Chain A
Amino acid sequence: MIAQASSSFTRFSWRRVGAMVLRYFYLLRGSWPRILELAYWPTVSMVIWGFITQFLAGNSSVVAQAGGIFLGAVLLWDVLFRGNLGLSLSFMEEMWSRNLGHLSVSPLRPGELLAALVVMSFLRTLIGILPAALLAIPFFGYSVFELGLPLLAFFTLLMMSGWAIGMAVSALVLRFGLGAESLAWVLVFAIAPISGIYYPIDVMPGWVQMIAWAMPPAHVFEGMRSIMFGSGVRYDLLLSAAALVVVYVALAATFFLYVFHVARRRGLLLNMGE
Chain B
Amino acid sequence: MSHPAIHVANLERRFGDVLAVHDVSFTVPTGVTYGLLGGNGAGKTTTISMLLGLLLPTAGRIQMLGEDMLVNRHRVLPRVNFSSPYVDLPHRLTVGENLTVYAHLYGIRHVRDRIASLARDLDIHDLMKRLAGKLSAGQKTRVALAKALLNEPELLLLDEPTASLDPDTADWVRGYFQNYQCQTGATILMASHNMSEVERLCEHVMMMKTGEIVDEGAPQELIQRYGRQNLEEVFLDIARRPHAAVEAAQ
* A residues adjacent to B (C-beta < 8 A): 1-4, 6, 8-10, 13, 15-16, 18-20, 22-23, 26-27, 30-31, 93-94, 97-99, 101-109, 264-265, 267, 269-270, 273
B243 within 8 A of A: no
For the complex, what is the distance from the CA of A104 to the CA of B80, rounded to whole Å?
12
Taking a contact as CB atoms under 8 Å apart, the answer to whether B105 and A106 are in contact is yes
**Cβ of B152: which chain A residues have Cβ within 8 Å of it?**
2-3
Taking a contact as CB atoms under 8 Å apart, the answer to whether A106 and B89 are in contact is no
Taking a contact as CB atoms under 8 Å apart, the answer to whether A106 and B77 are in contact is yes
Taking a contact as CB atoms under 8 Å apart, the answer to whether A3 and B78 are in contact is yes
For the complex, what is the distance from the CA of A7 to the CA of B160, rounded to whole Å?
32
Taking a contact as CB atoms under 8 Å apart, the answer to whether A2 and B109 are in contact is yes
Taking a contact as CB atoms under 8 Å apart, the answer to whether B93 and A6 are in contact is no
For the complex, what is the distance from the CA of A22 to the CA of B93, rounded to whole Å?
11
B54 within 8 A of A: yes
User: Given contacts A2-B114, A6-B79, are A15 and B104 in contact (CB under 8 A)?
Assistant: yes
Which secondary structure dominates where chain A touches chain B? Answer: helix
Residue in A1, A4, A16, A99 whose CB lies within 8 Å of B90? A99
User: Given contacts A22-B100, A269-B54, are A8 and B91 in contact (CB under 8 A)?
Assistant: no
B74 within 8 A of A: yes
User: Given contacts A20-B101, A22-B100, are A267 and B93 in contact (CB under 8 A)?
Assistant: no
- Distance in angstroms from A14 CB to nearest chain B CB is 11
Taking a contact as CB atoms under 8 Å apart, the answer to whether B105 and A107 are in contact is yes
Residue in A10, A27, A104, A267 whose CB lies within 8 Å of B75? A10
User: Given contacts A6-B75, A105-B82, A109-B74, are A264 and B54 in contact (CB under 8 A)?
Assistant: yes
Closest 6 CB pairs of A and B: A19-B104, A4-B107, A101-B87, A97-B90, A26-B97, A23-B101
Taking a contact as CB atoms under 8 Å apart, the answer to whether A3 and B104 are in contact is no
Residue of chain A at shortest CB distance from B81: A105
- Distance in angstroms from B111 CB to nearest chain A CB is 10
Taking a contact as CB atoms under 8 Å apart, the answer to whether B93 and A264 are in contact is no
- Distance in angstroms from A163 CB to nearest chain B CB is 22
**Cβ of A109: which chain B residues have Cβ within 8 Å of it?**
74
User: Given contacts A3-B108, A19-B104, A102-B147, are A10 and B74 in contact (CB under 8 A)?
Assistant: yes
For the complex, what is the distance from the CA of A8 to the CA of B75, rounded to whole Å?
9
Of A6, A26, A31, A102, most buried by chain B (CB within 10 Å of CB) is: A102
B56 within 8 A of A: yes
B180 within 8 A of A: no
Taking a contact as CB atoms under 8 Å apart, the answer to whether B75 and A4 are in contact is no
